[in-house]
Amino acid sequence: MSESARRDGFIAARKSQLAEAIAADAGGDTATRDMLNLLGSLLHHEAHARLEGLRALYDPLDPDAPPSTRDVSAAAFEAFEEALIETLKRANYSEIDPTSVQTQRATKQLTGLAIKPSMAGIRRIRYFARGSRSEELEHRTWLGLRKELVQAEVMNDVVVLVGFKSEDEVERADERAFAQMRRGMRPGAALVKHFRNVATPELVTLHPGAKPSMRPRDQVFLAAPAVATGVPVLLNLWPAITVLFAVLASYFGAQGVIEDDELKRALAAISGLVAVGAFVMRQRLKYEAQTLRYQKQLADTVYFRNLANNAGVLDLLIGAGEDQDAKEAFLAYYVLRHAERPMAKGEIDNAAESYLKDRFGLEVDFEINDALAKIERLGLVLRDGGVYNAIAPADALLKLDAAWDGMFNFSARR
């Protein structure tokens, strides 16, 4: 991907850090600092209501929900999916198609695994990410003796939404998949997972149906000894096996006399077959041990990047959305106030991006529409045709104070 394609609306600076920078650049004006604090408090209150609504939609889909509250219908999942996507957009996440940003070769190069995800039991899976950057990642090969650098795109945050099929959609292959999943996973449930610092070649490892397949090198290491040892043994055993069949036939009443030499050869054949069986079992155990090593490598890749799961992700996302909302509003208001003249939307957008780059070194595709919608709704800016103008900080503080008082105006009911 090009550098421009990687830019998104995620503002990585902390909210308090941005507010202090704006207040300082505004000359240390107390009214500006107080106004920003009150604006952040208002947006926090609004975010709390969104969190309660999102929790209500997710509760029936939670894998740990009691049977009395479950809702496995497609409509329930779609309602939650729509609300979650709106929350993700507010937090400046963008949906990504993992097949468009990764290849099997890149995944194998970075993780050392060949992974094929299975969609058994899964109705839908979607990936969302923000904060992309380009990094050189170290990868060790040849038992850790050789080191190489792999250029990859790394995303600060990745959220994965997984919807599982309901019971009336489950087929035989799906039943096997559910039986292999962790205890408590059930048809009709939804998973929400939050990961940190994920490279695009590692996206496939976040798939709940990800299964590492045996690499050709390991297949050769396991198969070559089996062929080299097993085939000669079987060829030498074949004449003795025919004698064993003759001995068995005589024992069960067939005509003929078994000589002592033939009986010895039959016993040798039985010993050889036991040896072959032991050899096959040993190769099978080697295969299973290698498979377990693959599974552990895959689990380690996911484990150390997982931040939160299910209901816990909702709190993080609502908080992230509130944080981004506040920073966008702070910037849009400051840019307009600092210019001391009416500005068009495009001018505000460019000025905000320039401020973030000059002040914090951040390359951001500023969400100008969201930013202006928030401060215009609160009356902090005035629009005249296609241009905007910010009111004075003292006046903005009065408007926000009145809005805050209006939220808890219980005295009017007496």
Mapping DSSP onto H, E and C, the string for the chain reads: CCHHHHCCCCCCCCHHHHHHHHHHHCCCCHHHHHHHHHHHHHHHHHHHHHHHHHHHHHHHHCCCCCHHHCCCCHHHHHHHHHHHHHHHHHCCCEEECHHHHCCHHHHHHHHCCEEEECCCCEEEEEEEEEEEEEEEEEEEECCCCEEEEEEEEEEEEEEEEEEECCCCCCCHHHHHHHHHCCCCCCCCCEEEEEEEEEEHHHHHHHCCCEEEECCHHHHHHHHHHHHHHHHHHHHHHHHHHHHHHHHHHHHCCCCCCCCHHHHHHHHHHHHHHHHHHHHHHHHHHHHHHHHHHHHHHHHHHHHCCEEEECHHHHHHHHHHHHHHHHHHHHHHHHHHHHHCCCEEHHHHHHHHHHHHHHHHCCCCCCCHHHHHHHHHHCCCEEEECCEEEECCHHHHHHHHHHHHHHHCCHHHHC
pLDDT, average across residues 154-160 = 94
Give the list of residues 6+ apart from residue 163 with CB closer than 8 angstroms, or none.
61, 77, 81, 122, 123, 124, 125, 190
Residue 5 has a pLDDT of 45
pLDDT of residue 2 exceeding 80, the answer is no
Instruction: Give percent above pLDDT 70 in the chain.
Output: 72
Residue 220 φ then ψ, to 5°: -65, -45
Over 80: is that where the pLDDT of 16 sits? yes
pLDDT at residue 361 tops 90 = yes
Q: What is the mean pLDDT of residues 177-188?
A: 74
Please report, for residues 116, 202, 294, the alpha-carbon distance to residue 104 in angstroms, rounded to integers and kept in the order given.
9, 10, 16
Confidence band of 176 (pLDDT split at 50, 70, 90): confident
pLDDT mean over 135-154: 71
Of 232-241, 324-333, 377-386, 396-405, the least confident: 232-241
Cα separation of 16 and 40, whole Å? 10
Q: How confident is the model at residue 4 (pLDDT cuts 50, 70, 90)?
A: very low
User: What percentage of the chain reaches a pLDDT higher than 90?
Assistant: 48
Give the separation between CA 113 and CA 205, rounded to whole angstroms.
Answer: 9
Pair of tokens at residue 180: 């292999």
pLDDT beyond 50 at 293: yes
Q: What is the structure's pLDDT at 29?
A: 82
pLDDT average, residue stretch 314-327: 95
pLDDT value at 65 more than 50: yes
**207-221, 306-320, 382-396 — which is least confidently predicted?**
207-221
Give pairs for 218-224: CB < 8 Å, separation 24+: 218/290, 222/283, 222/286, 222/287, 222/290
Q: Which of 405, 396, 363, 359 is nearest to 377 (CA)?
A: 396
More confident residue, 208 or 334: 334
pLDDT value at 79 more than 90: yes
Buried-state track 152-168, b at ≥16 Cβ within 10 A, e below 16: bbbbbbbbbbbbbbbee
Tell me which of 183 and 389 has the higher pLDDT.
Answer: 389
Between residues 197 and 269, the one the model is more confident about: 197
Q: Are 118 and 164 in contact (CB under 8 A)?
A: no
Find out whether 359 and 21 touch, Cβ atoms under 8 Å.
Answer: yes
pLDDT at 61 over 90: yes
Tens of pLDDT, residue by residue over 370-391, are 999 999 999 999 999 899 999 9
The CA distance from 113 to 403, in Å, is 56
pLDDT per residue over 87-97, tens digit each? 999 999 999 98
Q: Predicted confidence band at 172 (pLDDT cuts at 50, 70, 90)?
A: confident
Instruction: Kindly report the backbone phi and psi dihedral angles of residue 196, in degrees, each rounded to the nearest multiple of 5, phi listed first.
Output: -125, 140
Q: Which residue has the higher pLDDT, 330 or 204?
A: 330
* pLDDT value of position 294: 62
pLDDT of residue 242: 62
- Does the pLDDT of residue 344 top 60, yes or no? yes
6-15, 33-42, 109-118, 226-235: range with highest mean pLDDT: 33-42
CB 247 within 8 A of CB 262: yes
